[in-house]
Every structure is written in structure tokens, then in C-alpha cells.
């Protein structure tokens, strides 16, 4: 409950502190739905009255408990509505995660659980709902909803657009004394690292957003020695992010280095040539950053691989088809064309369409891939480190190098890497088969 401005003017600092403490006792310490005693850092977080706040920054700081406590603070108020988000349902329902933890706290209380709605309803009529935002469009499931509390666990796993949209769902009835709050928790790292850092650490208090840092040492309820041992298994960058809550350290890809790629003026005319397409494009729209269709042409001779050029676009299917056909004509029929084939019937249909219509007359093949993009890039990485991958001078090089040195941890896109990895794999497998020892046939000859 907030103190009105007129009341604040009449109160001494001592009286304000007593009022805030009494309010804290009522909403947290004497709250029958919060069985755990908050740590000092959690108390700081729960005492905040501003609209936005971030808790945590390091592993083991009690982030999930802090969020759940904050969501439950006002469930004694009629029609209070709170919602807590994770990125996926799996994240939400894991043992020890938010939803499982809430059952531990609430199963033996007078709160009622609806498994269909994933909602706890309290005798006051207040509700606490658990939800996830796996895709960008999932946020529209809450269009028209009203909440006094919106919480996000592991905020760096979300897009900024998802957070801002749900932030707009915060509202209350006129005359209500329940504060409207967005409360989030997160470690550094992840897809949303930069926007979360910008919003809460760089803009921070100048925009009324409070960051409460909490580390492993701030949580007396955790077996710190054992957890510390687990963190030591991580790479140095991730360990600093999770152990120290370091928002400034970032992981380069560590799979490719810029200096591995020598730039040359041309490639051998009698080399074997392949063009590989990663067909993953949609039209760009305001506020969106879709993947690209990327086609990499590679050549190989005597174990040296040349990235000749990379063509990419984000446009309509018709424009993409025209580009791929035109590129094939420029490459010539001596260049074999491959395209990553998506799983299922749609992938089969796409390959068939390109074979029969778009690339009729060219040597064209669909490629069913397996394994992650990172695993598929490993052979290319090994060859590049050995100095066996050259870049043929062209305007595309800087963009490609910026993407590949950040892959897989710190690149917004990986379409060029994927197309180059695919082309390299095709050249490498045909090279291997060329020099493979044919099996010896034994047994009786037929007469």
C-alpha cells in the first residue's frame, strides 16, 4: 500500500519507516501464502514501490523466490491479478521452477489451483497465473488483459517487444491502493542481454527502474560450496556472468577468428564449385529482424577451400526464387547447387518446386541436415584454423566476418555461417568419396 502524498508531508521519517515496516509485515512476513523468510536482498526488492525493478544478476541469489513473493504480496486484496512468465512451458514446469515452487507453497493453503488455466485463485478473489511466451505472437494472447503485477523470470531470454507489450497490460481501477508493478529477475547473458542491460542498468534509475543486485553470497539458504563447485565447470565468461553477475563481459563465438581467413584475389579456375542455399527468409517489417536467405558459393582444389561470394536477401518468395535462378545462371552449370531441406512434407514440396521449376536444367539437390548449426560448423572451423579457408575479395566479406566471429554466442544471425557450412560439407564429402578406398569383394565369382 502506498502512502498518499498529503499523508507523507505530515509524517516524520521515523513514522514513514514504521508505516513501511508494518506494511511489509502484513504483505510478506505475516502473509500465510509466503512460507519462506526473505533474505536482506529480497527484502530490499519487496519494499520497492516504484513501477519497474530487476532482481538478481547472478546465479543462486534467490531470484525465483523473490519473484514469487512479490507476486503474492497483495493476494489478500479483492480482484488483484498477478501473472508470472517464463519463455517456454518447459521452463515454467521444471522441478523447482516457478510453478512447481508455487505448489510447494500453496497446496496446503485455502488457495485453489486450476490446472487448465494454470491459475491460483485466493479467497479474496485475487489470482496468480503462470504463463509462457514461446513465440513473438504469444504476447497477443493477453490483449485486453489487466494485471497489477507482471513478472518475468530470466528476462534475458525474452524479446524487448514481448516485455514492453505485457508492461502495457499493467493497470488498476480508480481508487485502488495496490501498486502496479513490473518485477523481473535475470542473469546476464542470453538473447536479450543488451536490451535488459540498457533498460535496467544504463537507463536504470533515471527512468525510475531499480536494479537490486543479488549474488550467491546473499542467499544464506543455499549450499554455496556445492553450488560454487558446479559453477566452476562452466567456461570463464559464463562463470563470470553467473557467479559475479557481470553484465559487461560477453562471449565471443570462440569458434572462428577473423585472422584465420586470408583474403585472396581469385580462386583456381579448375576447382570444384558448389553453391549452397539456406532458405530462411521473410519480408522485413517494422520492429522485426527476420532471418535471411543466404547462398554461399565455395570452391575447392588440393584441400584449399575458397569462399567465392555470399548472396543474401530478405524479400518475398517470388523475389527469392528470381534471385536464386539468376545466381545459378551467373554461376554456370558447372556449379552444383544444394539447398537445406526443412523437415516434413513442406520441405519435400519446396525442394521439388525448385527442382522442377526454378532450377530446371541445373544440377540441384535437397540436403536433409541433422545436428545443431554449431555442430555442423565444426569441420569448417577446423579447416579455417588450419589456414585452409580463403576469402575471395568482395564487398560481402566484412558482413560475413562480423557474423562468423560472433557465432554461435553473440551473432544476431547465422544464415551466412549456415550456408557456408553446408557448402563446405558438400565439397568435403565429395572429396572424401573421391579418395575413399573401395571395399574388396570376396567370395566365388559367378561364371
Q: What is the CATH number of the domain that holds 102?
A: 3.40.50.300
Query: Which of these three, 244, 270, 295, is where a domain ends?
Result: 244
Q: What is the CATH number of the domain that holds 272?
A: 3.30.420.240
Could you read off the pLDDT of 325-361 as tens digits, one per residue? 999 999 999 999 999 998 889 899 999 999 999 999 9
Do 265 and 188 share a domain, yes or no? Answer: no
In a domain, 268, yes or no: yes
10 pLDDT tier (thresholds 50, 70, 90): very low
- Mean pLDDT, to the nearest integer, of 1-23? 58
Q: Region 61-83: what's the mean pLDDT?
A: 92
Average pLDDT value for residue range 402-409: 81
Higher pLDDT, 411 or 113: 113
Q: Are residues 301 and 199 in the same domain?
A: no
Out of 244, 271, 295, pick the residue that ends a domain.
244
Query: For the chain, how many structural domains are there in total?
Result: 2
Residues 156 and 277 both lie in one domain: no
The answer to whether 104 touches 171, Cβ cutoff 8 Å, is: no
In this model, does residue 405 exceed pLDDT 90?
no
321 and 223 housed in the same domain:
no
Residue 443, in any domain of the structure: no
- Of 144-153, 279-288, 398-407, minimum mean pLDDT range: 279-288
CA atoms of 110 and 106, how far apart (whole Å): 8
Q: Tell me: do 350 and 379 sit in the same domain.
A: yes
For residue 389, tell me if it sits in a domain.
Answer: yes
Three-class secondary structure assignment of the chain: CCCCHHHHHHCCHHHHHHHHHHHHHHHHHCCCCCCCCCCHHHHHHHHCCCCEEEEEECCCCCHHHHHHHHHHCCCCCCCCEEEEEECCHHHHHCCCCHHHHHHHHHCCCCCEEECCCCEEECCCCCEEEEEECCCHHHHHHHCCCCECEEEEECHHHCCHHHHHHHHCCECCCCCCCCCCEEEEEECCCCCCHHHHHHHHHHHHHHHCEEEEEECHHHCCCCCHHHHHHHHCCCCHHHHHHHHHCCCCCCCCCCCCCHHHCEEECCCCCCCEEEEEEECCCCCCCCCCCCCCEEEEEEEEECCEEEEEEEEEECCCHHHHHHHHHHHHHHHCCCCEEEEECCCHHHHHHHHHHHHHHHCCCCCEEEECCCCCHHHHHHHHHHHHHCCCEEEECCCCHHHHHHHHHHCCCCCCCCHHHHHHHHHHHHHHHHHHHHHCCCCCCCCCCCC
Shared domain for 179 and 229, answered yes or no, is yes
The answer to whether residue 214 scores a pLDDT higher than 90 is: no
- Answer yes or no: is pLDDT of 446 > 50: no
Q: Is the pTM of this model over 0.75?
A: no
Residues 187 and 285 in one domain: no
pLDDT digits (tens, 9 = 90+) for 358-381: 999 999 999 998 888 888 998 999
Domain of residue 50: give its range: 21-244
For residue 341, is it within any domain? Answer: yes
Q: What is the mean pLDDT of the chain?
A: 85
CA-to-CA distance for 137 and 393, rounded, in angstroms? 41
Residue 227: closest CA among 98, 64, 60:
60
125 located within any domain: yes
pLDDT at 447: 32
230 and 368, same domain (yes or no) = no
Residues 202 and 295 placed together within one structural domain of the fold: no
pLDDT at site 29: 93
The pLDDT of residue 172:
82
Residue 52 within any structural domain of the chain = yes
Do 270 and 213 sit in the same domain of this protein? Answer: no
Tell which of 213, 244, 275 closes a domain: 244
Least confident of 25-34, 92-101, 236-245, 259-268: 236-245
Task: Classify residue 6: in a domain, yes or no.
Answer: no
Same domain, 411 and 388: yes
Q: Are residues 88 and 45 in the same domain?
A: yes
| Within-domain flag for 441 | no
**pLDDT attached to residue 306:** 98
pLDDT in tens, 147-172: 999 999 999 889 899 999 999 999 98
Q: Which residue has the higher pLDDT, 442 or 185?
A: 185
What would the mean pLDDT of 33-51 be, rounded to a whole number? Answer: 92
Amino acid at each position: 500500500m502506498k502512502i498518499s502524498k498529503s499523508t507523507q508531508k505530515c509524517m516524520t521519517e521515523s513514522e514513514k519507516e514504521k508505516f513501511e515496516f508494518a506494511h511489509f509485515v502484513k504483505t510478506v512476513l505475516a502473509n500465510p501464502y509466503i512460507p519462506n523468510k526473505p533474505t536482506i536482498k529480497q527484502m530490499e526488492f519487496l519494499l520497492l514501490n516504484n513501477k519497474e525493478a530487476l532482481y538478481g544478476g547472478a546465479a543462486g541469489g534467490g531470484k525465483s523466490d523473490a519473484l514469487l513473493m512479490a507476486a503474492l504480496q497483495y493476494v489478500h486484496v479483492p480482484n488483484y491479478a498477478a501473472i508470472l512468465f517464463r519463455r517456454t512451458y518447459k521452463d515454467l514446469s521444471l522441478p523447482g521452477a516457478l510453478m512447481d515452487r508455487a505448489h510447494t507453497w500453496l497446496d496446503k493453503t485455502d488457495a485453489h489451483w486450476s490446472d487448465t488455466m494454470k491459475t491460483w485463485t485466493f479467497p479474496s478473489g485475487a489470482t496468480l497465473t503462470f504463463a509462457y511466451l514461446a513465440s513473438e505472437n504469444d504476447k497477443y494472447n493477453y490483449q485486453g488483459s489487466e494485471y497489477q503485477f507482471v513478472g518475468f523470470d530470466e528476462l534475458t531470454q525474452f524479446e524487448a517487444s514481448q516485455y514492453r507489450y505485457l508492461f502495457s497490460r499493467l493497470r488498476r481501477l480508480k481508487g485502488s491502493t495496490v501498486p502496479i508493478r513490473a518485477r523481473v529477475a535475470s542473469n546476464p547473458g542470453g538473447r536479450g542481454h543488451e536490451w535488459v542491460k540498457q533498460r535496467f542498468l544504463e537507463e536504470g534509475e533515471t527512468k525510475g527502474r531499480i536494479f537490486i543486485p543479488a549474488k550467491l553470497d546473499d542467499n544464506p539458504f543455499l549450499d554455496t560450496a556445492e553450488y560454487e563447485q558446479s559453477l566452476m565447470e562452466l567456461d570463464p565468461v559464463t562463470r563470470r556472468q553467473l557467479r559475479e553477475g557481470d553484465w559487461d563481459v560477453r562471449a565471443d563465438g570462440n569458434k572462428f577468428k577473423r585472422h584465420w581467413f586470408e583474403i585472396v584475389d581469385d580462386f583456381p579456375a579448375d576447382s570444384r564449385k558448389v553453391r549452397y542455399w539456406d532458405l530462411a527468409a521473410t519480408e522485413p517489417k517494422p520492429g522485426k529482424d527476420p532471418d535471411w536467405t543466404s547462398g554461399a558459393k565455395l570452391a575447392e582444389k588440393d584441400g584449399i577451400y575458397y569462399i567465392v561470394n555470399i548472396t543474401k536477401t530478405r524479400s518475398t518468395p517470388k523475389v527469392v526464387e528470381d534471385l536464386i535462378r539468376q545466381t545459378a545462371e551467373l554461376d554456370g552449370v558447372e556449379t552444383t547447387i544444394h539447398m537445406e531441406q526443412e523437415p516434413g512434407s513442406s520441405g519435400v514440396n519446396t525442394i521439388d518446386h525448385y527442382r522442377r521449376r526454378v532450377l530446371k536444367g541445373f544440377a540441384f539437390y535437397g540436403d536433409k541436415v541433422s545436428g545443431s548449426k554449431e555442430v555442423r560448423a565444426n569441420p569448417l572451423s577446423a579447416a579455417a584454423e588450419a589456414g585452409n579457408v580463403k576469402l575471395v575479395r568482395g564487398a560481402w566479406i566484412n558482413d560475413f566476418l562480423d557474423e562468423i566471429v560472433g557465432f554461435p554466442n553473440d551473432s544476431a544471425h547465422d544464415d551466412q555461417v549456415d550456408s557456408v557450412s553446408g557448402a563446405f560439407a558438400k565439397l568435403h564429402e565429395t572429396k572424401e568419396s573421391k579418395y575413399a578406398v573401395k571395399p574388396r569383394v570376396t567370395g566365388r565369382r559367378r561364371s
